[in-house]
Structure 1
Amino acid sequence: MSAPAPLLVVGDALLDHDLYGRVERLAPDAPVPVVSSLRHITRPGGAALAACLAAADGRQVTLVTALGDDEASESVCRLLADRVHLVRLPLTGTLSSKTRVLTEDRPLLRLDDGDGRARERTDEAYRAIAKAEAVLVADYGRGTADVLRDALRSTAARVPVVWDPHPRGNPPVPGVRLATPCAPEARVFANRLRTGEEPRGGSALQATARHADTGEESQGAGALHAAARHADTLVRGWRAASVAVTLGGRGALLSHGETPLLVPSPVTAEGDACGAGDRFAATAAGLLADGELTETAVRAAVHAATRYVAEGGARAFAVDAAPATHPRPSDDGEPTDDALRTAARVRAAGGAVVAAGGCFDLLHAGHVALLQAARRTGDCLVVCVNSDASVRRRKGDGRPLVPLADRVRVLRALECVDAVAVFDEDTPERLLAELRPHIWAKGGDYALARLPEASLVESWGGQVVLFPYLDGRSTTGIAERAAAAPRPTPLTGRRGR
């Protein structure tokens, strides 16, 4: 399989600080919570986080951003070392940073500092944009996209450009392949186009954003109707090929200016959503760089953003954590480290790892129902699939009907599946011992049998869980009906009698 295409990220780097603590009482001198047992982590933010996320997908990433000589800028440089190639623009002022105080992964307070803006373009930055094969613009309204706007306009005419806009910034350049505002931002941008309003900042912007997320547009069908209407306005007003309005836990709505496509989240993910928009945009931009269709890129981006939240969000990029790597799973069907890495990340974030196993030969509705139900019980789903040799030993010489590489590819295409691993033995016990899932999911047809792997799963405190099985669905039954069906005659194409 070819390596992922390189990606150029253009935008405003930030420095993020998170203070995690416990709240057990109110202060005696004021009705405010007292946060104790603080743990301080520092991580890249803004376009720097987007670049790190793209690099974590196994890509070569170049980041064009404005940095100065201040302490925050130097911290960002250290955090980006060995992750991305850096092209620096001069910065006026000090780099923007934000500090969040969180308890139980919920923010209590945010402090913003630094008012730095990109001062001017450089020849090195223009050269990087001119030779880019694909670009992600992570605009955080601090001027990087503005000083490079002419170059980005030219680039959008020849290669895929994904633009993640910010209400403080200017609209995307004409011709971008995909723009990715969240729902409140989409309303702000659409209203500007309708009224001719200019970008603004401060309290006026905050009031607009608050207004954009209230009323009937924030709920149910009204939210979808509003998102579709705003997306249509943005496609036409921005002259963008498409706009994907991200809807938080509900997924994203993709519009090309016609009937929109709703891409729902595979599951409801609970956790810190900071950076989920960057994860969405980085995934979509990377896949467009690889030559995928926009619809395919948006589907994968929704899945990636959901998994990102479930696995703990941006804390994986903290200064005290090793750089995360998420190499693409190979299509040759061989076991990869991806499943073990996924399980380890979810477990480290305090989530529940769910595993399910089987041959999955001729994937059918019963399989899909089982996997969807299993995924809803935890924070990630790893599917353990029998190798071809293992299937033959279990099912006979005529099986599998579908070779391993194809079975793995189909399973990975399901939005409820986070990773796939292959085992060659008759049972998945060796693989389970490495994965150590919290839940081992099986179909209800095993209800009267003691699974050979049950004792192993229970040895580390795991639980075997059975799920209802859809009657009348089986690979054997489907294969027998297909074999018995009349076939078209070679000349007429009509079914034989």
Structure 2
Amino acid sequence: MKIHMPRFDKAQVLVVGDLMLDRYWQGPTSRISPEAPVPIVKVEQHEDRPGGAANVALNVTALGAGVSLVGLVGDDEAGIALEKQLQSARVNCAFSKTDGEPTITKLRVISRHQQLIRLDFEEPFSSDYGEQVVNATTPLLANVGVLVLSDYGKGTLSDCQRLVREAKAQNVAVLVDPKGCDFTRYRGATLLTPNLSEFEAIVGVCKTEDELVTRGQALVKTLELDALLVTRSEQGMTLIRANKEELHFPARAREVFDVTGAGDTVISTLAAALAAGEDLPNAVALSNIAASIVVGKLGTAAISAPELRREVSKEQGAEKGVVTEEQLLIALADARAAGESIVFTNGCFDILHAGHVGYLAQARAQGDRLVLAINSDESVSRLKGPGRPINPVERRMAVLSGLEAVDWVLYFDEDTPERLLEQVRPDVLVKGGDYGIDGVVGGEFVRSYGGEVKVLSFLDDCSTTAIVEKIQQDTDG
């Protein structure tokens, strides 16, 4: 299927669920305690990370979507630290503080890349807080496209049914990352995303694909769902919908370092894509790719829109090639986000010859990515005279995009690329020929913001004009 990137910046998502603060204390271990046979860790580093539903919200905002977060925290230092981190990441926090329960905190002590112990600070939240959570959620539903219920079984979602009803009444899709052995509490939701073990805990062990699909369809009907997405680790994902053929999304081959947080990545990508107006199959395909990225990282990690877009481009075979100006600017933003430098050059490139190939290879060597802008047919005619170009712009771009040195090719209608240069703002502007540095069109602009301008030589005895003249002489002869 054709996968495309949505406008995440148009999406608004509301996440409600169990909030956690993941703490990591790290340091060297060189001796055993004289008090007990345990290692002594000299703590030299400490780090706090949002966990649980907070990690889901963090993943949503990393994609560029707007997100609000509702949950329960204690009136304590951990709750303040969690809210501060999330607000700095542009998450709108609508937290309710509990009277006696602490903010759920998981402290991990690590030495030599090995977790030695985990300390959990938590008390189950009373169902009395259910009304408080619903009251904090309801006013926020008017401005979102998707509600995510992130359930870690800690008690925040004690009144799931009312949350589902409130959302559906306002035509807001409800996605649920479920927990426990009672899925009836999520009845009426739009989509559930259990992993295989969670799914089989409800329907029983599935020995065949047909069994999995049949039981999944029965669960969709029983719980009055629109769909069910079963995540299956190395077996990919299976999307089951009422009265429709199941869709299977194979796992992307990738070295797996850590599956921590992969479920959060899946549901956050789904939510952001659906809120941006994507249909469910495309949203699932995007979440499958996002999951393949996150398992290649250590610990819980948020996937950015540029990371996802680059991976989608690879899947579609569109990481480089012929682009429009709008597509180029998106690709450049992704490249710069990855720390890559941009080289720009331009010309007519009417008949491709050895001089062009050598020049473009030299130009590409000046940075990480090469943008090649070529004159349109009308522009070439104005510059070169009647009878030119020999090859129309579509053919010229098709040939040039096949060169290893070229990342992106596009054309411009003006006689010079100055307007395009103002959009691209390359790190290096390269021109071939006998120009002096001061004679390069656009050079003054590029130097004005700290860019470089370089002049490279074509190979001797190579020019399109000379080739055309030789053909004409041979024809006349």
TM over 0.5: yes
**By how many angstroms is 1:99 displaced?**
2.9
Tell whether 2:130 aligns with 1:120: yes
Which one has a bigger Cα radius of gyration?
2
Pick from 178, 187, 210: which aligns with 2:191? 178
Per-residue CA shift, 1:304-346, capped at 9, x if unaligned?
11112224442569xxxxxx775986952224232343469xx
Per-residue CA shift, 1:60-114, capped at 9, x if unaligned?
1111111220232222112112321111234351122223455786756543221
Tell me, what secondary structure is at the counterpart of 1:273?
Answer: coil
**Mapped partners of 1:23, 1:270: distance in 2:** 28
Tell whether 2:325 aligns with 1:339: no
Tell me, what secondary structure is at the counterpart of 2:282?
Answer: helix
Pick from 54, 75, 79: which aligns with 1:73? 79
Pick from 137, 152, 162: which aligns with 2:175? 162
Q: Counterparts of 1:389-428 in structure 2 under 5 Å?
A: 389=374, 397-398=391-392, 400=394, 422=408
Q: Counterparts of 1:326-405 in structure 2 under 5 Å?
A: 332-334=327-329, 335-342=331-338, 387=372, 389=374, 397-398=391-392, 400=394
Q: Which residue of 1 aligns with 2:264?
A: 278
**By how many angstroms is 1:389 displaced?**
2.7
Q: Which residue of 1 aligns with 2:226?
A: 241
Q: Is the 8 A contact 1:177 1:241 kept in 2?
A: yes
Q: Counterparts of 1:141-156 in structure 2 under 5 Å?
A: 141-147=153-159, 149-156=161-168
Q: Which residue of 2 aligns with 1:98?
A: 106
Q: TM-score, normalised by structure 1?
A: 0.57
Q: Is the 8 A contact 1:141 1:169 kept in 2?
A: no
Q: Is the 8 A contact 2:13 2:66 kept in 1?
A: yes
Kindly tell me the number of residue pairs found equivalent between the two proteins: 341
Taking structure 1 as reference, are residues 249 and 113 closer, same or farther at Cα in structure 2, changes over 3 Å only?
farther
Pick from 289, 293, 296: which aligns with 1:307? 293
**By how many angstroms is 1:44 displaced?**
0.3
Taking structure 1 as reference, are residues 225 and 116 closer, same or farther at Cα in structure 2, changes over 3 Å only?
same
Q: Which residue of 2 aligns with 1:63?
A: 69
Matched letter for residue 216 of structure 2: A
Matched letter for residue 165 of structure 1: P
Q: Which residue of 1 aligns with 2:55?
A: 49
**Mapped partners of 1:398, 1:24: distance in 2:** 71
Taking structure 1 as reference, are residues 308 and 385 closer, same or farther at Cα in structure 2, changes over 3 Å only?
farther
Pick from 266, 271, 285: which aligns with 2:252? 266
**By how many angstroms is 1:19 displaced?**
4.3
Tell whether 2:286 aligns with 1:292: no
**Mapped partners of 2:38, 2:213: distance in 1:** 41
**Mapped partners of 1:61, 1:306: distance in 2:** 23
Q: Which residue of 2 aligns with 1:482?
A: none
Matched letter for residue 285 of structure 1: A
**Mapped partners of 1:144, 1:422: distance in 2:** 49
Matched letter for residue 114 of structure 1: E
What is the root-mean-square deviation of aligned Cα atoms in Å?
4.3
Matched letter for residue 289 of structure 2: H
Q: Is the 8 A contact 2:69 2:94 kept in 1?
A: yes
Q: Which residue of 1 aligns with 2:465?
A: none
Pick from 133, 139, 142: which aligns with 2:145? 133
**Mapped partners of 1:397, 1:27: distance in 2:** 79
Per-residue CA shift, 1:438-480, capped at 9, x if unaligned?
xxxxxxxxxxxxxxxxxxxxxxxxxxxxxxxxxxxxxxxxxxx
Q: Gapped runs of 5+ residues in structure 1? A: 192-211, 318-323, 345-382, 408-419, 426-430, 435-497
**Mapped partners of 1:155, 1:246: distance in 2:** 25
Q: Counterparts of 1:30-45 in structure 2 under 5 Å?
A: 39-45=45-51
Q: Is the 8 A contact 2:108 2:117 kept in 1?
A: yes
Q: Counterparts of 1:181-192 in structure 2 under 5 Å?
A: 181-191=194-204
Q: Is the 8 A contact 2:175 2:189 kept in 1?
A: yes
Taking structure 1 as reference, are residues 226 and 77 closer, same or farther at Cα in structure 2, changes over 3 Å only?
farther
Q: Which residue of 2 aligns with 1:12?
A: 18
**Mapped partners of 1:143, 1:237: distance in 2:** 24
Q: Which residue of 2 aligns with 1:443?
A: none
**Mapped partners of 2:130, 2:245: distance in 1:** 41
Q: Which residue of 2 aligns with 1:442?
A: none
**Mapped partners of 2:141, 2:262: distance in 1:** 25
Q: Is the 8 A contact 1:7 1:60 kept in 2?
A: yes
**By how many angstroms is 1:138 displaced?**
0.9
Matched letter for residue 296 of structure 1: N
Tell me, what secondary structure is at the counterpart of 1:282?
Answer: helix
Tell whether 2:94 aligns with 1:87: yes
Q: Is the 8 A contact 1:68 1:90 kept in 2?
A: yes
Q: Is the 8 A contact 1:58 1:326 kept in 2?
A: no
Matched letter for residue 179 of structure 1: L
Matched letter for residue 106 of structure 2: K
Tell whether 2:250 aligns with 1:255: no
**Mapped partners of 2:152, 2:397: distance in 1:** 47
Q: Gapped runs of 5+ residues in structure 2? A: 1-5, 310-324, 341-367, 381-388, 412-423, 428-477
